[in-house]
Structures are given as structure tokens and as C-alpha cells.
Structure 1
Amino acid sequence: MAIQGSAGNVIAAICNVFFPGLGQLVQGRFIAAIIFAIVCVVGYALWWMVIPAIIAGIFHLWSIIDAATYKN
């Protein structure tokens, strides 16, 4: 990815809207992708406990912003 706001970063951010961590995977950042995916999936799976779902929502938003503002 070239610079912040480039087409690649926008595509990565859109990928994260559908599945957290997918945008980082598109950018080639495997560790960040795994961390975002695991935290969000586990948090959303425990939605009935409320707090994990809130944490997952924050991480999901963070993954979108992280992909959109990523610089090499």
C-alpha cells in the first residue's frame, strides 16, 4: 500500500467492514489480522455477556480505522 487514503487502504477498510482482520490480511499483515479476527469473533460470540460484545465492537471499529490509515 502506498500512502494513507490510497485505493488499497480504502479497499482494505471496506473488507474490514464485512469481516474484522480481512483488510489487514489484504495488506499482508498476518499477525494484526489474526489478532483482530480472534478478538472480534470471540467477543461477538459472547454477545450475551454484553462487555465482550462492546470490546469486540471497539476492536472492529479499530480494525477499520487501522486499515484505512496504514502506512508502510
Structure 2
Amino acid sequence: MAGQGSGGNVIAAICSVFFPGLGQLVQGRLLAAIIFAIITVGGYALWFLVIPPVIAAVAHLWAIIDAAKYSSHD
């Protein structure tokens, strides 16, 4: 990836909007993708409780921002 704001990061962020962790997977970051997916999908699955969906929503937003701001040469 070229860096923050690059076309690849925009595509990765859009992927993360539809499925959390997919943007990280597009960027080649398997562990981050798995962690974001498990936390977010698990929290959304527990929709009938109050706190897990809130945590999942925050993690989902974090996954989108993380995919958009990722820079491979840090």
C-alpha cells in the first residue's frame, strides 16, 4: 500500500464498512482481520444484551479507521 489516503486504503476502508476486518485482510494483515471480525461479529451476535453491541460498533468503526490510516512503512 502507498500510505494513508492512498487508493488502496480507501478500498480497504470501504471493504471494512461491509464486513469488519475485510479491509485489513485486503491489506494483508491476517491477525488484525481475525481480531476485528471476531470482536465485531461476536458483539453484534449478542444484540439482545446492551454492552456487547456497543463494543462491536466501536470496534467496527475502529476497523474502518484503521484500514483507512494504515501505512506499511511505519
Smaller-chain TM-score bracket: over 0.9
Identity %: 74
Distance 1:19 1:65 in 2: 13
Cα distance in 1 for partners of 2:18, 2:65 equals 14
More helix by share: 1
The amino acid that maps onto 1:42 is G
Q: Which runs of 5+ in 1 are unaligned?
A: none
Gapped runs of 5+ residues in structure 2?
none
TM-score calculated relative to the size of structure 1 = 0.99
**2:37 corresponds to 1:37:** yes
- Corresponding pairs, count: 72
Q: Name the structure 1 match of 2:4.
A: 4
TM-score by length of 2: 0.96
Q: Which consecutive segments of 4 or more residues in structure 1 shift more than 2 A?
A: none
